[in-house]
Structure 1
Amino acid sequence: MNQGEPAGPEPHGRHETPEERADRRWSELLQEVRVIQTGVQILFGFLLTVVFTPRFAVLGQADRVIYVVTVLLGAATTGALVGTVTFHRLVTGHRLKPQTVLWASRLALVGVVLLLATVASSLLLILRIALNGSAAPWVVAGLVAWFVLCWFALPAWVLHRYSSRQ
């Protein structure tokens, strides 16, 4: 056995310093934000163009309110997700990488929650028009439940199930 190696096999985890762990977690977070940000940019860009279409002029008051709320949610989502990168940029060089990763991760999670609200609001607007409003809230509620299951409940269940065995 070489000096510095553990006496036995490690039951879980990696051999990382706190700095190495922060660097790895930052790289993973950045990749995750890149994936989600692409979808957010496409959705937000589309939302910004809707107001300039001829159909917008004939929308009722309720649909206009839903549209404005959706655009504001899209802007807030973009702000939270871009904020993860600017957060890192503003504190880089101050030896705060673990704290930066923690707070940027929280900001990214806020972005995901805002994305859920943006998608739900977008679907509500589109389905109110496509389905004449009747079934739209029920369809959107079902899809929101699906997103919550995929994005939050399943990961929470896996975390609970497998982390409690350690």
Structure 2
Amino acid sequence: MHERNETPLERADRNFGELLQELRVTQTGVQFLFAFLLTLAFTPRFPSLDTTQRATYVTTLLLTVIAAALFTAPAAVHRMLFQLGAKRQIVRVSSRLAACGMGALVLALSGSVLLVVDVTVGRAGGIAAGAGTFCVCAGLWGVMPWLMRRELLRRDD
């Protein structure tokens, strides 16, 4: 690993700043998704959704709420532990919260695509589009970084 000339506290401060930048990007997407989902229930076509579509809608809405809660939790953790010398713990916990938020978000995005394509094209198309969305997000957010990390660690050894 390539070390920087910084103290552990400076590293924690930098890591927290980088994490907050990442959370700003993801939180905006979650807010748009949540707003979209909230408005769906008040559209004229919503009452015509079948039981599966309604279950997909409610599940996706709740996953979006969970993602939003996980992505905003680091701010609450930081606020509650502010000036207690816990920055390294804040960074560690916040990073885990963000990772869990990404997991909830991939499911929420997949469910949203499943619902919209199901309503517009049909169930089989919805399932295929939702599964495709899941695979793309899981690949870009999970598999690709894992492969990059593995390669970097192997190169540093």
Assess same fold via TM > 0.5: yes
| Aligned equivalent of 1:108 | 98
CA distance in 1, matches of 2:111, 2:105: 10
| Aligned equivalent of 2:139 | 149
State which of 130, 139, 157 in structure 1 corresponds to 2:129: 139
CA distance in 1, matches of 2:147, 2:124: 34
| Aligned equivalent of 1:160 | 150
Unaligned runs of 5+ in 1: 1-10
State which of 57, 60, 63 in structure 2 corresponds to 1:67: 57
| Aligned equivalent of 2:86 | 96
Unaligned runs of 5+ in 2: none
Task: Give 1:164 shift.
Answer: 1.8
1:38 and 2:28 correspond: yes
After the TM superposition, which residues 72-87 of structure 1 pair with which residues of structure 2 at under 5 Å, given as runs?
Answer: 72-87=62-77
CA distance in 2, matches of 1:149, 1:132: 25
Aligned residues: 156
By percentage of residues, which structure has more helix? 2
| Aligned equivalent of 2:111 | 121
- Name the Cα RMSD after superposition: 1.1
**Matching residue's letter, 1:115:** L
1:12 and 2:12 correspond: no
After the TM superposition, which residues 17-28 of structure 1 pair with which residues of structure 2 at under 5 Å, given as runs?
Answer: 17-28=7-18
CA distance in 2, matches of 1:76, 1:134: 27
- Runs of 4+ aligned residues of structure 1 deviating over 3 Å after TM superposition are none
1:50 and 2:9 correspond: no
Task: Give 1:61 shift.
Answer: 1.1
Q: Indicate the SS of the match to 2:155.
A: coil
- The higher radius of gyration belongs to 1
Q: Indicate the SS of the match to 1:165.
A: helix
Question: What do the CA deviations read for 1:79-137 (whole angstroms, capped 9, x no partner)?
Answer: 00011111111111110000100000100111111000100111111111111212221
8 Å contact from structure 2 (residues 30, 64) kept in 1: yes
How high is the sequence identity, in percent, across the aligned residues? Answer: 38
